[in-house]
């Protein structure tokens, strides 16, 4: 696992020869392909690929790979792509509200070295979780939201995150910075679907739900302008019964949210998620 | 498992002493309690119970148990109940349309002796599945539905089922017949939520679904006037990926429907499902 | 949920009248039964029950309930039982080694108030996780084990835990203390089956496993003299594929261990686990 | 889905350029690649691939593809491979004993057109399931086994199956026949791990199992000389509780076996399973 690799996520209109063409030029430049996942959406005629190759014997210098790809392949086939390197260490800000379970889980994974990511900042609209941030030694910024200042505060949040991530990367190379900023805009918008601070209220609604549902679910998705409408990364359910009290529903729901969110972040950090339109291709 | 037992499903307003009261009178009459499941909905103050006792040493004769229960307990506490006996063999009609997977699965379970139930009749609005019925030696009645005759045909279906079940039970004792007819009205309305004959069309919709859902589900529920709105008995999901073709989505969906429907029927036949309002209590 | 309740877990030889008898005496003493789960192992003729009742109108004073139960019921039927109160706050020591994932998860749940439990002490045979304990402000005691001192150190560990838990409870009432100490001896021996510090080695073995297993599992169980042989409380699996690298296997395994261990602890703290012989009855 | 395709499953020692090399020659011969799954076992340095391409514009005639592949690629890289065509219809014999659940499920799938396969023969060591075969109009051959004739009968079974499959294919082209016979030797040895006719006995053992296991599992695997030791194709579990009677354990176990076996057969028929050594690569 110590090898240094390049990872390319791409999609373009499908046509014969794409796999042969791309693997051919990587091969010619001395790149040994380690993983290749490819899928064609035949209804919409879109070709998707995740390809990872060893940089050890690769003759194109790292900073030239982007341009090399575009010249040799990308521009000809109208490719949308992102290029990643396995030794990059992206930066991720976390937006929280009042419930601590997902925050604790993410910070513990970070502290235990499970994720190759830096977490320089936690942003919240409430002061409640400041002590969790402090416990893990991470900066916590609280921007309270009222109906009047909502739009302004949300802009401040984004500016804050943007500044924080840029500042910390100054001196680093420019391409990486752009790349990270772009990815960052995904990560920090991850949002679990089952709730937020109204968790208990929601669990009560479920408990009293007409028809007696037997499952509850959680979803991790990208966030678009329409908050609960972004493309889905990860989704799972857990069984419930009439015997589950509000307290047990909350516990089951939170346990589910933790694992669904963690799986989504892991897949993003592994560069296995490709969003297009309002959907995702998740390479496993 | 050869012992003959009585099974009582009941609910009533909660108040202290209900468990002690009912177990006390069963005990006094020589009934050894084999299973007792009890649950209180504290929000709505409703007491639910499933209780099963051995009839071996029970001093109340079988045909008097209903009245004994009402006199000793039921009327005093405004109880809703149904009484079942483990040696009953209910009769179930199956309504089908064009897709064979659930029908085959149910008939195979029936033929293999997995369910204690008789299946005297299959009713359909299309002739397609007649050969399946024939293969298992079960009467198949086709009542084609057009926009014009829909209401009339649905009435005919119910009359047909009702007549069939009564006729075949003639000579049997009256109490059992009523009971069976009542339960029958549940069983034959079981309906799996994901589809019917438009299965392929639905799978295509899922395949093209915005947001890229990662799970598909199936639900077995009672049917009310509003066809897809009855209380839920059983519910499950299966994971899907972007790689699933329409054919594989159909296969996964059908496999899920089969098992969800079979679990629901098993629970009904075990008298473990209690419907109230628009919800269910499923005793496990 | 704010009501104060008594919870009785019991088992004894089965005979007619047990449910009626026990619910009768609780009812007579003014106890409103909130939950009752009962099950009979017909092969071995053992009766099991979990019963919870409201102490609000209960006429037996709290400190006399144990004796009241034994006199009125327990001694006559050779009952094994434990008695709990919903407002108790048990004390739990955690034994760890080198892997932080379960420890973080437990301490986060504790810090977030998810569990009604105190965690005064973490004991380890390695210094590695001291910083995690420190982060959550919990005493950490390291007792390194060598082949020579193993037996002695294990005795020291138990003495340490025992002293710590007793000392902190001094002044409390005696019955509670005994009870807590007894429960404690369960909790601190919880152990997840998939590993410990040799996790990576194990994952490598799985990755190279003959036959290509498609699932890995984790189990939480009580610990007996034979370390991996105690009765099982909770058990689950997760799917793996040939594509899972050692790193991903470790991640999946650890995520599974966290949730399986947390579910087991939750069930213990809810007094829903009854161990007998080498098995458990887990009331859901 | 109506396009005619070639599917190649292969593995060989890993070395740079394999993907580029193979996709290059397919592309040159006018083959549009529809699906490509590739995976490298880095521990053992083995390269695995499943590649499917459209035969519409492919310039190599169908009967020459095998030799074309070997000449252009296979011999140079010491490749093990199998070549399949999407319009092939393999023949599958089913070996059964006394339990009907899997047989019914397979025959129903076959009758409903879910699987692209012919089932000309069912072989059993007991007469019990003859009526199931008859219901679906499939030849049933019973070869009772005693301790004395076991080896001889097993040889007869294989000869019978072999003759049956060859005879029915006579007149067909030779290459296909060989191929089918080879695949056949996989299919007919599929075996579900949880049992056979001693099902009830096994369920009783589980019910009485020390430690109180919370899950039961089923596995579909290839069969080797050592009957329960072949490489695993599919595997799943289902939760059980102390409340599950022997009857319910049997039902859960059989439902699990049905779905696990059906998934394995589907994957085999889709040519997504590649066995090597004592393991499998299952392309999803």
Backbone angles phi, psi at B84, to 5 degrees: -130, 160
Q: Does A112 touch chain C (CB under 8 A)?
A: yes
Least confident of A147-161, A190-204, D48-62: A190-204
pLDDT, position A208: 53
pLDDT, position B203: 59
Nearest to A239 by CA among A226, A229, A248, A228: A248
pLDDT, position B108: 94
3 state SS of B195: coil
Contact C222, C189 (CB under 8 A): yes
Tell whether the model's pLDDT for residue C5 goes beyond 90: yes
Q: Measured between CB atoms, which of D16, D31, D284 is closest to A27?
A: D16
The nearest CA of chain A is from the CA of B167 a distance in Å of 34
- A54, A228, A255, A284: which one is catalytic? A228
pLDDT per position as a tens digit, A219-256: 887 766 555 567 888 888 899 898 888 888 888 988 99
DSSP state of D58: -
Exposed / middle / buried, residue D53 (Cβ in 10 Å: 0-12, 13-18, 19+): buried
Backbone angles phi, psi at A84, to 5 degrees: -130, 160
Q: Does B238 touch chain C (CB under 8 A)?
A: no
pTM: 0.88
When scoring B192, B211, B275 by the number of chain A Cβ atoms within 10 A, the one with the most, hence best to mutate, is: B211
DSSP state of D62: G
Q: Compute the mean pLDDT over every residue in chain D, rounded to the nearest whole number.
A: 81
When scoring C7, C50, C105, C269 by the number of chain A Cβ atoms within 10 A, the one with the most, hence best to mutate, is: C105
CA B263/CA B233 separation, integer angstroms:
9
H-run or E-run covering B70: none
Nearest to B232 by CA among B279, B181, B265, B179: B279
Sorted by sequence, the CB contacts under 8 Å of residue B58 that are 6+ apart come out as B6, B29, B30, B31
Kindly determine whether residue B23 and residue C20, on different chains, have CB atoms separated by under 8 Å: yes
N-terminal to C-terminal alpha carbon distance within chain A: 17
pLDDT per position as a tens digit, B113-167: 999 888 888 888 889 999 999 999 999 999 888 888 887 887 787 777 767 665 4
Indicate which residues of C carry an active-site annotation. Answer: 228
- Quote the tokens at residue C277: 């012989």
pLDDT, position B160: 76
When scoring B258, B261, B263, B271 by the number of chain D Cβ atoms within 10 A, the one with the most, hence best to mutate, is: B258
pLDDT per position as a tens digit, C80-136: 999 999 998 888 888 888 889 889 999 999 998 999 888 888 888 889 999 999 999
CA A283/CA A22 separation, integer angstroms:
18
Kindly determine whether residue A284 and residue B207, on different chains, have CB atoms separated by under 8 Å: no
Percent of chain D predicted with pLDDT > 70: 79
pLDDT, position D190: 40
The nearest CA of chain A is from the CA of C243 a distance in Å of 8
Q: Compute the mean pLDDT over every residue in chain A, rounded to the nearest whole number.
A: 81
Mean pLDDT value across residues D7-15:
96
pLDDT, position D7: 97
Considering only residues C232 and C140, tell me which one the structure prediction assigns the higher pLDDT: C140
Indicate which residues of B carry an active-site annotation. Answer: 228
Tell whether the model's pLDDT for residue A20 goes beyond 70: yes
Considering only residues C21 and B97, tell me which one the structure prediction assigns the higher pLDDT: C21
pLDDT per position as a tens digit, D158-200: 777 767 665 443 333 222 222 333 333 333 334 333 333 344 5
Tell whether the model's pLDDT for residue D155 goes beyond 50: yes
CA D18/CA D45 separation, integer angstroms:
13
Kindly determine whether residue D108 and residue B112, on different chains, have CB atoms separated by under 8 Å: no
CA B85/CA B4 separation, integer angstroms:
7
- Quote the tokens at residue B228: 């897809």
CA C282/CA C48 separation, integer angstroms:
10
CA B129/CA B106 separation, integer angstroms:
13
Percent of chain B predicted with pLDDT > 70: 79
- Quote the tokens at residue A15: 């046509």
Tell whether the model's pLDDT for residue A189 goes beyond 60: no
pLDDT, position D273: 92
Phi-psi region of C125 (alpha: psi -120 to 50; beta: other; left: phi over 0): alpha
Q: Measured between CB atoms, which of B39, B212, B279 is closest to A210?
A: B279
The nearest CA of chain A is from the CA of C67 a distance in Å of 31
pLDDT per position as a tens digit, D191-247: 333 333 344 555 556 655 556 788 888 888 776 655 556 788 888 889 989 888 888
Mean pLDDT value across residues C149-158:
79
Which chain B residues are Cβ-neighbours of C77 within 8 angstroms?
Answer: none
3 state SS of C214: coil
Q: Please write down the long-range contacts of B267-274, taking CB distance under 8 Å and 24 or more positions apart.
A: B267/B233, B267/B234, B268/B183, B268/B186, B268/B187, B268/B190, B268/B233, B269/B90, B269/B115, B269/B116, B269/B117, B271/B7, B271/B9, B271/B50, B271/B82, B271/B84, B272/B50, B273/B233, B274/B9, B274/B10, B274/B11, B274/B48, B274/B50
pLDDT, position B183: 34
Tell whether the model's pLDDT for residue B193 goes beyond 80: no
- The single residue listed with the structure tokens 């919709």 is B205
- Residues D199, D279, D179, D29, Cα dihedral to 10°: 140
The nearest CA of chain B is from the CA of A61 a distance in Å of 34
Tell whether the model's pLDDT for residue C282 goes beyond 90: yes
Least confident of A35-44, B61-70, C197-206: C197-206
Q: Subunits that touch chain D (at least 3 Cβ pairs < 8 angstroms)?
A: A, B, C
pLDDT, position C225: 57
pLDDT band at A43 (very low <50, low <70, confident <90, very high): confident
Q: Does B13 touch chain C (CB under 8 A)?
A: no
Q: How far is CA A268 from CA A66, A179, A271, in A?
A: 20, 14, 5
Q: Does C239 touch chain A (CB under 8 A)?
A: no
CA B199/CA B39 separation, integer angstroms:
38
Q: Does B72 touch chain C (CB under 8 A)?
A: no
Considering only residues D109 and B174, tell me which one the structure prediction assigns the higher pLDDT: D109
CA D278/CA D117 separation, integer angstroms:
26
Total residue length of chain B? 284
Nearest to A74 by CA among A139, A10, A163, A154: A10
Exposed / middle / buried, residue C101 (Cβ in 10 Å: 0-12, 13-18, 19+): buried
């Amino acid at each position: 696992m110590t090898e240094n690799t390049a990872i390319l996520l791409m999609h373009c209109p499908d046509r014969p020869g794409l796999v042969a063409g791309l693997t051919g030029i990587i091969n010619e430049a001395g790149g040994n392909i380690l993983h290749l996942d490819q899928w064609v959406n035949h209804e919409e005629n879109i070709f998707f690929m995740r390809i990872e190759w060893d940089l050890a014997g690769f003759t194109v210098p790292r900073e030239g790979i982007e341009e090399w790809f575009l010249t040799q392949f990308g521009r000809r086939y109208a490719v949308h792509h992102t290029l990643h390197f396995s030794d990059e260490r992206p930066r991720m800000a976390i937006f929280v509200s009042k419930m601590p379970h997902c925050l604790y889980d993410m910070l513990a994974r970070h502290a235990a070295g499970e994720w190759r990511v830096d977490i320089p900042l936690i942003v919240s609209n409430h002061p409640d979780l400041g002590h969790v941030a402090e416990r893990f030694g991470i900066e916590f910024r609280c921007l309270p939201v009222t109906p009047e200042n909502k739009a302004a505060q949300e802009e401040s949040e984004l500016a804050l995150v943007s500044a924080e991530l840029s500042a910390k990367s100054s001196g680093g190379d420019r391409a990486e910075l752009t790349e990270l900023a772009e990815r960052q805009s995904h990560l920090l918008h991850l949002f679990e679907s089952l709730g937020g601070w109204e968790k208990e209220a929601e669990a009560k609604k479920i408990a009293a739900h007409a028809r007696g549902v037997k499952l509850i679910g959680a979803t991790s998705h990208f966030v678009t302008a329409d908050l609960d409408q972004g493309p889905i990364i990860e989704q799972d359910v857990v069984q419930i019964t009439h015997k589950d009290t509000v307290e047990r529903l909350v516990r089951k729901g939170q346990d589910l949210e933790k694992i669904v969110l963690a799986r989504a972040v892991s897949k993003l950090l592994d560069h296995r998620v490709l969003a297009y339109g309002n959907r995702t291709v998740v390479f496993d």
